[in-house]
Structure 1
Amino acid sequence: MEMFEYAFMQRAFIVGVLLALIIPLIGVTVVLRRLSMLGDALSHTSLAGVAAGLLLNVNPVFGASVFCVGAAFGIEGIRRRFPRYAELSISVMLSAGVGLAGVLSGFTKNAANFNSFLFGSIVAISDAELYSVAAVSLLVLLASVLLYKELFSIALDERAARLSGVPVNVVSTIFTMLTAVTVAIAARTVGALIVSSMMVLPVACAMQLARSYRGTVWASIGFAELFTISGLVIAYYGGLKPGGTIVLMGVVCLIGILIVKSAVERKQAKKA
């Protein structure tokens, strides 16, 4: 294809495929733990880290990572104090992230660099950023394989997992750090305002079709890869923003699945 003649598109596809592999792995656990807005809270907090990085003349991705890790542990801490109201912790951190990002962004001199984190610039990433994504992807994959049973137990019932001897605090700490770093890296490539959608939409589509945890994980990855690849192709030939196009592909697919599934259920009801 013509688009693969360009090095920037080759890097974009490699990064897109890697992120589409690891974001759903995190997304499945996040959704099953009723923390679907976690990505949204972390992505907004990452913007505060980006602004802080620009102000301190350090790598914005490093600043985003530090702020995301801090916010993730903050959410986990608040969630433990309000176990029956998990969404409260996300709302608190989301508010703090938006507030900090709004204040700090007013002091940044390089507005263009800051704005590039809002919707991402996957076609403009450097080789160093590509290697960073690859390294984070490897860590997430290893953790997902090694902690598969533990994450499965925690996702289904955290209290039961704790009673059965699963080291919930340790596993949650590892998962929290990986989630934060993944969001920070993804914010640079697909955009802070889009990464949370990539974490939830593939999982939502998968949950409509899969009948097991393992099936949901594999289906989520498949949908994420489909959205990413088709979104990049359409964005390239249509002159559109890649991040937004990828998310819209996910939205269209989810709506299509819901419509088809509803029609099938109506047919089955009539036959019965």
Structure 2
Amino acid sequence: MTIFEMFSYSFMQRALLAGTLIGVLCAVLGVFLVLRRLSLIGDGLAHITFGSVALALFAGLQGAAMLLVSLPVVLLASLGILKLAGKARLGGDAAIGIVSSVGVSLGVLLAVLGRGYGVDLFSYLFGSILAISRAELLVAGGLFITVLALLWLYYNDLVALTFNEELAAVSGIRVRFLNGLLAALTALTVVLAMKLVGVMLISALLILPASAALQVARGFRMTVILSVLFSLLSVVGGIVLSFLLNLPSGATIILLAFVIFCAGYLFRQLQTVKNRN
């Protein structure tokens, strides 16, 4: 089978389009999260997503209808993390740990109670991008536009907040609002990405492209551009390889992203040695 024949299938077209949308979102948000040392929030929200998926399946929902449960649950969880960190005298990592452990516990409990959907739950744990439906693609497109529009609207404030939160607060920037916005946008992206790489691997898609870009880029804007490029290479390449070699799409995407990160790290080390000499 040639590449052109592979792209003629409608499910491959939907997978590549959905993967592109989600890859861009993860790449851009990942830069903010990695620079602010908030990478763990993606992992925490992924665990909450597991619980929300189990809840939706327990309620008999499938496909795009599952988002009616997952989106509000994960959004509330993201805001709950911020509230716990600010009001309960907890660090951000402790708040993430508390909320994520509740999400996993809920998911496991519901998985035991609803024994009939083990296969469905497995597909959401590890991704099934080739099975994405047209309705799910439309939802992904709508949320993609919403998230990018909000990022563009508050871009300058988010950049200022990323590099110096105290200075941003003194400058009149609404720090609490922007922290909530960033957490909410991350929650939306995590829910979208669960069909792409699965809830167990979502945090890697947020972290790896951004981390790879930070190895080679100079300046914030170039970091975002390279992060998007690396993410798209990982997603598109992973989907194609998974189809041709009959491999799990989520794991293939993440391993390819890791290879790109390793290449970026080696490039940085070589540049360091060259500059010393």
Fold shared by both chains (TM-score > 0.5): yes
1:32-181 map, 5 Å: 32-58=35-61, 59-81=65-87, 85-108=91-114, 109-181=116-188
SS of 1:190's partner is: coil
Establish whether residue 189 from structure 1 lines up as the match of residue 192 from structure 2: no
Runs of 4+ in 1 over 6 A off after TM superposition: none
Stretch moving more, 154-163 or 260-269: 260-269
User: Which residue is equivalent to 1:217?
Assistant: 224
1:238 corresponds, among 240, 245, 248, to: 245
Q: In the aligned structure 2, how far is the partner of 1:82 from the partner of 1:265?
A: 44
* 1:33–1:155 CA contact under 8 A, matched in 2: yes
Q: Percent of aligned pairs with the same residue? A: 32
Q: Does 251-260 or 35-44 show the bigger shift? A: 251-260
Q: CA 1:2 to 1:83, structure 2 compared with 1: closer, same or farther past 3 Å? A: farther
CA deviation vs aligned residue, 1:32-53 (integer Å, no higher than 9, x gap): 2211111111111111111111
Q: Is the 8 A contact 2:216 2:267 kept in 1?
A: no
AA paired with 2:56? G
Moved more, 2-11 or 89-98: 89-98
- Count residues with an aligned counterpart: 270
Deviations 1:170-203 (CA, angstroms, capped at 9, x unpaired): 2223322222122112112321112111100000
Of the structure 1 ranges 199-208 and 82-91, higher mean CA displacement relative to structure 2 is found in 82-91
Quote the residue 1:263 is aligned against: 270
Q: Specify the code of the residue in structure 1 equivalent to 2:134.
A: D
Q: Distance in 2 between matches of 1:180 and 1:268?
A: 41
Given residue 209 of structure 2, which amino acid in structure 1 is its aligned partner? Answer: P
Q: Which runs of 5+ in 2 are unaligned?
A: none
Displacement after TM superposition at 1:224 (Å): 0.4
Shift of 1:83: 7.8
| Superposed displacement of residue 159, structure 1 | 2.2
TM-score (normalizing by structure 2)? 0.92
Cα distance change of structure 1 residues 83 and 21 upon mapping to structure 2, 3 Å threshold: farther
Counterpart Cα distance in 2 of 1:17 and 1:75: 29
Instruction: Give the aligned residue type for 1:184.
Output: V
Q: Is the 8 A contact 1:48 1:101 kept in 2?
A: yes
- Unaligned 5+ segments in structure 1 are none
- The one of 20, 24, 48 aligned to 1:17: 20
- Cα separation, 1, equivalents of 2:70 and 2:19: 19
Kept after mapping to 2: 8 A contact 1:61/1:188: no
> What residue identity is the alignment partner of 2:105?
G
**Residue type of the alignment partner of 1:54:** L
Q: Which has the larger displacement, 41-50 or 189-198?
A: 189-198
Q: State the AA in 2 paired with 1:245.
A: T
Partners of 2:88 and 2:265 in 1: CA distance: 33
